[in-house]
Amino acid sequence: MKDKSILLFFILFINLPVVARDYNILDFGAVKGKLSTIAIQKAVDECFTAGGGRVVVPTGTFITDSFILKSNVNLYLEQGAELSGSENIKDYTAGDLTHGMISCEDAVNVAISGSGTINGNGTKFYKADKTQGSSEFDKSIIRQKENYMPEGNFFTDGPLVRISNPGISIAFFNCTNVSITGITIKDTPFWATRFNYCDGLLIDGITILNNPLVPNNDGIHCSTSRNIRISNCNVIAGDDAIVVTGFSKDTEVPGYNSSEQDNHLYGNKTIYAENVTVSNCQLKSSSVGIRIGYGQHPIRRCTFSNIVIYDSQRGIGIFAHDASNIEDLIFTDIIIETRLFNGQWWGHGEPIHLSSMSRFSGKVAGRIKNVQFNNINAIGEQGILVYGLKESPMENIQFNNVQLRMRKGKETMDYGGNFDLRPASERSMRMFEHDIPGIYAQNVNNLSIRNFKLSWNNDLPDFFTHGIECKDISDLLITDFVGAGNPNAPDSQKVKLENSTYRKSEK
Mean pLDDT, the chain cut into blocks of 10 residues (507 residues total): 44 46 98 97 98 98 96 98 94 64 97 98 96 90 95 94 94 97 97 97 98 97 98 97 94 85 96 98 98 96 98 98 96 98 95 95 94 98 97 97 98 97 93 98 98 98 98 97 97 96 63
CATH superfamily, domain 22-120+166-312, is: Single-stranded right-handed beta-helix, Pectin lyase-like (2.160.20.10)
Q: What is the CA radius of gyration of the chain?
A: 25
Helices within 215-272 (DSSP H only): 259-262
Query: What is the identity of the amino acid at 236?
Result: I
Q: Are 367 and 389 in contact (CB under 8 A)?
A: no
**What are the backbone dihedrals phi and psi of residue 32, each rounded to the nearest 5 degrees, phi first?**
-60, 135
List, in order, residues 6 or more apart from 2 with CB less than 8 Å away. none
Q: Give the integer Cα–Cα distance in Å for 53 and 22.
A: 6
Q: What is the phi-psi region of residue 375: left when phi exceeds 0, alpha when psi lies from -120 to 50, beta otherwise?
A: left
| Three-state secondary-structure class, residue 344 | coil
CA dist 445 and 369 (Å) reads 9
Contact 437, 493 (CB under 8 A): no
Amino acid 347: pLDDT = 95
What is the per-residue pLDDT for 93? 66
Could you tell me the CA-to-CA distances from 404 to 46, 151, 397, 407, 468 in Å, in that order? 56, 34, 17, 10, 12
Cβ neighbour number for residue 439 with a 10 Å cutoff: 25
Do 480 and 451 form a contact (C-beta atoms < 8 A)? Answer: yes
Half-sphere exposure (CA, 13 Å, Cβ side) for 414?
13
Helix (H, G, I), strand (E, B) or coil at 478: strand
Burial environment of residue 139 by CB neighbours within 10 A (0 to 12, 13 to 18, 19 or more): middle
Q: Are 240 and 291 in contact (CB under 8 A)?
A: yes
Compute CA 49 distance to the chain's CA centroid, rounded to the nearest angstrom: 35
CA distances from 120 to 59, 228, 239 (A): 18, 25, 16
Helix, strand, coil proportions of the chain in percent (round to 5)? 10, 45, 45
C-alpha to C-alpha distance for 262 and 274, rounded to whole angstroms? 18
Q: Cβ of 407: how many Cβ atoms within 10 Å? A: 19
Look at residue 5 in the predicted model and tell me its pLDDT.
Answer: 45
d(CA 212, CA 131): 13
Q: Where are the domains of the chain?
A: 22-120+166-312
Contacts of 107 (CB under 8 A, 6+ apart): 69, 70, 71, 172, 175, 176, 266
Give the per-residue pLDDT at 14: 42
- pTM (predicted TM-score): 0.94
Task: Return the closest-CA partner of residue 141 out of 354, 358, 417, 489.
Answer: 417
C-alpha 70/C-alpha 15 separation (Å) is 26
Handedness of CA 503, 465, 138, 319 (dihedral sign): negative
Q: How many CA atoms lie within 13 A of 467 on its CB side?
A: 18
Question: Residue 175 and residue 171: Cα distance in Å, rounded?
Answer: 10
Reduce the secondary structure of 201-231 to three states and give it as a string: EEEECCEEECCCCCCCCCCEEEECCEEEEEE
Strand ranges (DSSP E) for 65-216? 67-68, 73-77, 81-85, 102-105, 108-114, 117-119, 126-131, 160-162, 170-173, 176-181, 184-186, 193-196, 199-204, 207-209
